[in-house]
Amino acid sequence: MSDSTIRIGLVLPDVMGTYGDGGNALILRQRLRMRGYDAEIVDITLSDPVPDSLDVYTLGGAEDSAQRLATRHLAKYPGLQRAAERGAPVLAICAAIQVLGNWYETSSGERVDGVSMLDVTTSPQEKRSIGEVITKPLIDGLTAPLSGFENHRGGTTLGSSASGFARVTHGVGNGVGDGFEGVVQGSVIGTYMHGPALARNPELADLLLMRALGVNELEPLHLPEVDKLRKERLAIR
């Protein structure tokens, strides 16, 4: 049992929760509890300042109008930025990549400044990317293929300070022809994978937890239903 409660920040679920990505926070909490840790989810809504003291943060997908609200809130209350600067792990899903980037263009062509936690820019693409995506991770600590469901029209270009999270083997990914899916910069991991992503990719969930806990390994969890889900999803081509 841990000496203190691990706090998982679910950032702006009221506007950044279109695709059920709040499930990522539930998965982190459950994987901690199954290992004997005390864990709680802290909902951070538009009514709340963003605390910089939590152990791990997750953000989900959204539509254009909700993205603007989220961007303004994170700029006004920069607790997430401060947390990332000290090394707290952050998982940003889909539109959250765009909000955390330098700027993004809406479907109407309006350019909106992001909060610049990620050195990326995003512009609408002619064709929407919808369907299964399978990738090979490009960061230390991940070895298993990743899978998710992508549903976006954004084309995300990585700047010099950002790196690709994974290499696409099936699907579209970032949508700009560079073969990358997602982005990594500092303690922030961004991906277009819905699903929720951590339900499909337990190795990624545990990487975030190890970083949050400051440990190099965790007790393995034997979950046959997760293995079955992964086998099913990774078989799609």
Q: Does residue 170 have an active-site annotation?
A: no
- Which run of H or E residues covers position 113? strand 111-113
Q: What is the pLDDT of residue 2?
A: 44
The angle that helices 23-33 and 202-213 make with each other, rounded to 10 degrees, is 70
Which residues belong to the annotated binding site for substrate? 128
Report pLDDT digits (tens) over 72-82. 999 999 999 99
- With cut-offs at 50, 70 and 90, classify the pLDDT of residue 3: low
What global pTM score does this model have? 0.96
Catalytic residue among 94, 152, 170, 222: 94
Average pLDDT over residues 204-208: 98
Tell me, yes or no, if 152 is annotated catalytic.
no
CATH number of the domain to which 155 belongs: 3.40.50.880
Q: What is the pLDDT of residue 107?
A: 82
The 10s digit of each residue's pLDDT in 118-162 is 999 999 998 999 999 999 999 999 999 999 999 999 999 999 999
The string of pLDDT tens digits covering residues 35-84 is 999 999 999 999 999 999 999 999 999 888 899 999 999 999 999 999 99
Burial 23-53 (b: 16+ CB within 10 A, else e): bbbbbbbebbeebebebebbebeeeeebbbe
Contact 150, 192 (CB under 8 A): yes
What is the pLDDT of the chain when averaged over all its residues?
95
Domains contained in the chain, number: 1
N-terminal to C-terminal alpha carbon distance within the chain: 42
DSSP state of 163: B
Instruction: Give me the domain span that covers residue 191.
Output: 4-233
CA distance 8 to 153: 29
Of 73, 152, 194, 222, catalytic? 194
